[in-house]
Structure 1
Amino acid sequence: MEVARQARAHVARLDLSAAQVAVLDGQAHTARALWNLLHEYCTFRQGRLASVKDCDAAIRRARREIDWMGRLPAEAAQAVLRTYRQAWANFFDPGHPAKRPGFKSRSRSRMAVDVPQGRDLNIARLNRRWGAVNLPKVGRVRFRWTRDLPGVTRGGPAGRITGARLVKDAFGWQIVFRTEAVVAAAPIAHRGRHLALSDGTTREHGDWLTSREKERLRRLEKKSARQRRTRSPGRPASKRLARTYDRIARLRATAKRRALNWQHQTTTELARTYGVVVVEDLPIMNMVRSATGTVERPGQNVRQKAGLNRAITGQAWGRTVILLGYKARDRGGLVVKVPAPGTSQTCHRCGHRDPAARVRIRYACVNSACGWAGHADTNAAINIRNAAGTAVSGRGDLGAARSAKRQPPHAA
């Protein structure tokens, strides 16, 4: 049987001492400073962009002449150079949405350090809950063991660890393992029945934050606004403002973790149960565009549109479809996308299309010969099923109880 190599990422929480946290913080700040130095070196040169050879020579010279540059391991410094060059390649690619690379702010950039080589990690499982890994200039560190890693666990999946990336969020430092698993080139065909959401079946979830957490977040955002008003222009943020930002970031990270947990559980269940899933190919980037407009032509209902944009981005529909896509492929399933225009305004029974037939989450066909009425998403799901030419249907959010186009979603 033919085999293929499948690249995946696995996130695990690190258990660090205060001294180890300080070392990783120093490495992350050095990596950010190195990015800024590379950007200055490349953009302020006369003529063409500096070559990789010139940049590598500049990094080596800086590591010899600047003491604090030695805090960053040499391999991590080379990873910064590769990432920076790739950012320019993405910018020059006409089909890539990447913007022009710029300087990284100390307060707004994400703290991260690359470990490009997986052979030096020496990963081992200590017990049911914990594993251990070697980190450059940090030493032996424990991490939370939540799943078997390819090529590490005896009797586990075949493959290897190709590298890792250390990332810091509001909860602390985490390690993202880059794994390469060996799988069958052609997965066994999924024998489960097709996913049919046109009958009203949904996958529900509540709000990512409780009412008390929402109120706390609102108070912290108002507090940060007051603290920003008292800051003099051009002065760095005070320690009090930084603490407020940290509390806001922790609440938002909590919401993201809960959303990711629900998305992973739901998409895994759907991929295991159904063989084919059809989703609406929603233009999410167009849907969340700002309505502020210009000075000459100001936008309308800007605050309402901003609230809708926050609701849409909070649901992360695109991430749900991505997770479902690779999980369905791993199990021999299929995810099909159909064009979105007209699915919510067309009657699935008679085919009559009229925007007035839809009012919020209710759809009532205006064709007197038909008169079908029901949930708007159910009607759209049947249209998606018919467009795909299968007995399968779904919404862009896999059965959201509210429309993506007119109402902020609260269910999926």
Structure 2
Amino acid sequence: MKRQRGHKARLYLTPDQVATVDDQGPSARARWNLLHELWQMTPKCQRSLSRMDEVIRQPRKDIPWLKAVPAQAAQQVLKTYHRAWVNCWEGRAEEPAFKKRTARRAVDIPQGRDLRITRLSRHWGQCWVPMVGLVRFRWAKDLPYGKRADKNNRVTGARLVKEVNGWHIVFRVQTEADEPKPHEGPVVGIDRGIAKPLALSDGTFREHGSWLTPGEAKRLKRLEQQRERQRAHHKPGERTSNRLRHTYDQIAQLRARATRRAVDWQHKTTTEISDIFGVIGVEDLAIVNMVKSARGTVEAPGKNVRQKAGLNRSISGEAWGRTVTFLQYKLADRGGHLVKVPAPNTSRRCSACGFITPGSRESQSRFVTKPHAA
């Protein structure tokens, strides 16, 4: 079977290369926004990829800074935008929207053959980025390149993404693997929570500490207080000062460090669980709805808004959806299955007879069986 995976590696660019790639990010975002505006202005009967491509080519000729994006990457923006609408029509995502200035910067490299990947040493690799040149990246995983690549094992493309700690490249890797044998491990159910991040039905738990050390948490709090003081002197529409921008960068670096540690824990924990269990059941939660604000409206203001905001932050910090994504593809690689169980009444239904009794759950990790009529 063919397996599609992504591999992310950090790029080490020269100052000139950084300036070039930094110009490509806003140019790709502007092209997306132009496409979105053109889509909204065009009647539904005239919307097509060919027409959109024909119309969007002219601004590239008239506006010099739109040429910062390579031609193939510019074409890929159009394909990605159209795919976003297809996902919306099929119910997998919401409608595409304008990308803000603070949106994540990304530039596509659609063709894998353009990358010219080579390995320089044990820890370093090199690839070609259009309009940038040869760039070095950290070699942390074997990639099919050169003579090792064939029709079924190859790098099909890549994407440049801007993170807090610099630019990274995400390779799209296609490999051919044998069909896995059925996983013979036991069946288990997993309850995702906050007090207990992962509570398994066999009575065990998977827990973690704080993503930041006490010193880092103290520094983050101090920086957030400093940010609010600086913003108090910032007038609407006024250009952001260098000091405030530097404070934003420091906060983003600490939060990104916490995210990297969370992802590392999730990868290790889901790998361990996938190796042990063959079938895993999880609640099919509507996480987006769970983390909505309780502020309400002017006519009907919400209650316990601050408490709900704290709960929303805790849920977002645990990244329940990412845990399920990791489990899903790791179980598939091992011949296991992930089963999503409808969430209503899963905490109150008796596992023996299916009877629903209110109040049968004392806490996330403790269930009690209360007598009920047969």
User: Which sections of structure 1, spanning at least 5 residues, go unmatched?
Assistant: 371-412
- AA partner of residue 182 (structure 2): A
Compared with structure 1, are the counterparts of its residues 66 and 335 closer, same or farther at alpha carbon in structure 2 (3 Å cutoff)? same
Alpha-carbon offset, residue 363 of structure 1: 4.2
Q: Secondary structure at the match of 1:308?
A: helix
TM-score normalised to the size of structure 1?
0.80
Alignment of 1:286-365 (within 5 A): 286-346=289-349, 348=351, 353-361=356-364, 363=366, 365=368
Q: In the aligned structure 1, how far is the partner of 2:344 from the partner of 2:68? A: 53
The alignment status of 1:104 with 2:82, answered yes or no, reads: no
Q: In the aligned structure 1, how far is the partner of 2:149 from the partner of 2:172? A: 20
Alpha-carbon offset, residue 303 of structure 1: 0.6
The alignment status of 1:127 with 2:127, answered yes or no, reads: no
Compared with structure 1, are the counterparts of its residues 115 and 340 closer, same or farther at alpha carbon in structure 2 (3 Å cutoff)? same
Q: Secondary structure at the match of 1:53?
A: helix
The alignment status of 1:55 with 2:49, answered yes or no, reads: no
* Contact 2:159/2:170, CA 8 A, preserved across alignment: yes
Compared with structure 1, are the counterparts of its residues 366 and 32 closer, same or farther at alpha carbon in structure 2 (3 Å cutoff)? closer
Alignment of 1:73-112 (within 5 A): 73-91=70-88, 93=89, 95-99=91-95, 101-106=96-101, 108-112=102-106
- AA partner of residue 169 (structure 2): I
Alpha-carbon offset, residue 318 of structure 1: 1.4
Compared with structure 1, are the counterparts of its residues 72 and 365 closer, same or farther at alpha carbon in structure 2 (3 Å cutoff)? closer
- AA partner of residue 201 (structure 1): T
Alpha-carbon offset, residue 258 of structure 1: 0.8
Structure 1, residues 353-400: CA drift from partner, whole Å, max 9, x if none?
A: 444343445747473699xxxxxxxxxxxxxxxxxxxxxxxxxxxxxx
- Give the structure 2 partner of residue 247 of structure 1: 250
- Give the structure 1 partner of residue 223 of structure 2: 220
- AA partner of residue 115 (structure 1): I
Alpha-carbon offset, residue 31 of structure 1: 1.0
Structure 1, residues 96-129: CA drift from partner, whole Å, max 9, x if none?
A: 3313x333222x2111111010011011111221
- AA partner of residue 190 (structure 1): H
TM-score normalised to the size of structure 2?
0.88
- Give the structure 1 partner of residue 135 of structure 2: 141
* Contact 1:291/1:302, CA 8 A, preserved across alignment: yes
* Contact 2:357/2:370, CA 8 A, preserved across alignment: no
Structure 1, residues 231-271: CA drift from partner, whole Å, max 9, x if none?
A: 22223322222222111111111111111111111111222
The alignment status of 1:188 with 2:181, answered yes or no, reads: yes
- Give the structure 2 partner of residue 391 of structure 1: none
Q: In the aligned structure 1, how far is the partner of 2:20 from the partner of 2:265? A: 34
Q: In the aligned structure 1, how far is the partner of 2:273 from the partner of 2:151? A: 23
Q: Secondary structure at the match of 1:356?
A: coil
- AA partner of residue 148 (structure 1): D
Q: Secondary structure at the match of 1:259?
A: helix
Alignment of 1:19-30 (within 5 A): 19-30=16-27
Q: Secondary structure at the match of 2:112?
A: coil
Q: In the aligned structure 2, how far is the partner of 1:171 from the partner of 1:229? A: 28
Q: Secondary structure at the match of 1:176?
A: strand
Compared with structure 1, are the counterparts of its residues 156 and 94 closer, same or farther at alpha carbon in structure 2 (3 Å cutoff)? closer
Compared with structure 1, are the counterparts of its residues 155 and 84 closer, same or farther at alpha carbon in structure 2 (3 Å cutoff)? closer
Structure 1, residues 46-69: CA drift from partner, whole Å, max 9, x if none?
A: 775653233322333223222222
The alignment status of 1:263 with 2:259, answered yes or no, reads: no
Q: In the aligned structure 2, how far is the partner of 1:287 from the partner of 1:231? A: 34
Q: In the aligned structure 2, how far is the partner of 1:276 from the partner of 1:152? A: 39
- Give the structure 1 partner of residue 65 of structure 2: 68
Q: 1:114 aligns with which of 99, 105, 108?
A: 108
> How large is the RMSD of aligned CA atoms in angstroms?
2.7
Identity within the alignment, %: 52
Compared with structure 1, are the counterparts of its residues 41 and 284 closer, same or farther at alpha carbon in structure 2 (3 Å cutoff)? closer
Q: In the aligned structure 2, how far is the partner of 1:362 from the partner of 1:194? A: 18
Q: In the aligned structure 2, how far is the partner of 1:232 from the partner of 1:207? A: 36
Alpha-carbon offset, residue 15 of structure 1: 1.1
* Contact 1:29/1:111, CA 8 A, preserved across alignment: yes
Alpha-carbon offset, residue 307 of structure 1: 0.6
Q: In the aligned structure 1, how far is the partner of 2:91 from the partner of 2:362? A: 37
296-305 or 347-356: which moved more? 347-356
- Give the structure 1 partner of residue 197 of structure 2: none
User: Which sections of structure 2, spanning at least 5 residues, go unmatched?
Assistant: 190-199
Q: In the aligned structure 1, how far is the partner of 2:69 from the partner of 2:51? A: 20
Alpha-carbon offset, residue 78 of structure 1: 0.7
Alignment of 1:364-375 (within 5 A): 365=368, 367=370
- Give the structure 2 partner of residue 179 of structure 1: 173
Compared with structure 1, are the counterparts of its residues 118 and 365 closer, same or farther at alpha carbon in structure 2 (3 Å cutoff)? closer
216-225 or 292-301: which moved more? 216-225
Compared with structure 1, are the counterparts of its residues 32 and 102 closer, same or farther at alpha carbon in structure 2 (3 Å cutoff)? same
- AA partner of residue 97 (structure 1): A
